[in-house]
Amino acid sequence: MSSITNLDFFARRLSQRAALDEEDRAAVSALPFQHRYLNPSAYVVREGEPPRPHCSFVLSGLAFRHKLTVHGARQIVSIHLAGDLLDLQHLFLNIADHSVQALTELEVADIDRDALREMALERPAVGQALWIDGLVDASIYREWVLNVGRRDARARIAHILCEIAVRMHAAGVIDAADFHLPMTQEQLGDATGMTSVHVNRTLKALAKDGLIDHSGRWIAIQDWNKIRREGDFNPLYLHLDQVAPHLPGPLSSMFP
């Protein structure tokens, strides 16, 4: 496990979203932080808790946000990957309304909350970059409400696969449409409001029809145009132009 000494990675990230000047970048890079590794299913944030003294930025790995009903049913409300801030909400809200857990082994930079907060308010360019981050998160939630509320099982699964593939690609985590999905079928069900049994049947059906190639926990997208159509996937809501301005690779041509 290598170590990092400053937040250049985070500063670069913010620079993609707004025009940070040299001073902004230096200030961001110099933010106090702690480098930390978490095991799968470790909690980053726990519902009902007051904010932690830090705000976690993902360096590598995946995490997910979830809420529970009183009957114990779980709904995953978003997935996060390298480059995402895991608890922007806690920069300004007094209590956690949901939990965040590591999905895979997770590498984070725990940035000092008060320092980040001050920077968000006192440095306009940094503030704007964080605003964009927060607003895109909200946009993704809206799309998920639509996904879970108005699409059938097949479209839901197709849609979430598209989203994850495109976001991984935008984050530079994968190069092609073919990727390893580190989620269990139960987690996929919790993200789409389905049971794991039905996720299984739906994946099989998508595979049979040639949209994906899937065995065990490996998923590759076979036919982008088909799956995008079936999943009613329009990447507009990801606001990629503002988040990852210069998309390289094969997917970029698919989503102009």
Beta strand pairing call for 99-102 and 43-45: antiparallel
Among 13, 25, 54, 151, binds its own copies (CB under 8 A): 151
Q: How many residues are there in the chain? A: 256
Residue 74: strand pairing partners = 68
Does 57 bind its own copies (CB under 8 A)? Our answer is no
If the CB atoms of residues 40 and 127 are measured against its own copies, the closer one turns out to be 127
Total Cβ atoms within 10 A of residue 37: 14
- Rounded CA separation 235/245 (Å): 14
Q: Are 56 and 110 in contact (CB under 8 A)?
A: yes
CB of 35 to DNA, least distance (A): 24
- Catalog residues that contact DNA under the rule CB under 7 A: 152-154, 184-186, 193-198, 200-201, 203-204, 215-217
Q: At what angle do helices 185-192 and 153-170 cross, to 10 degrees?
A: 100
Using the contact rule CB under 8 A, the part of the chain among 73-81, 108-116, 168-176, 245-253 near its own copies is: 73-81
CB of 175 to its own copies, least distance (A): 27
Residue 35: strand pairing partners = 109
Binding site for its own copies (CB under 8 A): 48, 65, 67, 69-71, 73-75, 77-78, 88-89, 91-95, 97-98, 120-122, 124, 127-128, 131-132, 134-139, 141-146, 148-151, 155, 192-193, 232, 236-237, 239, 241-242
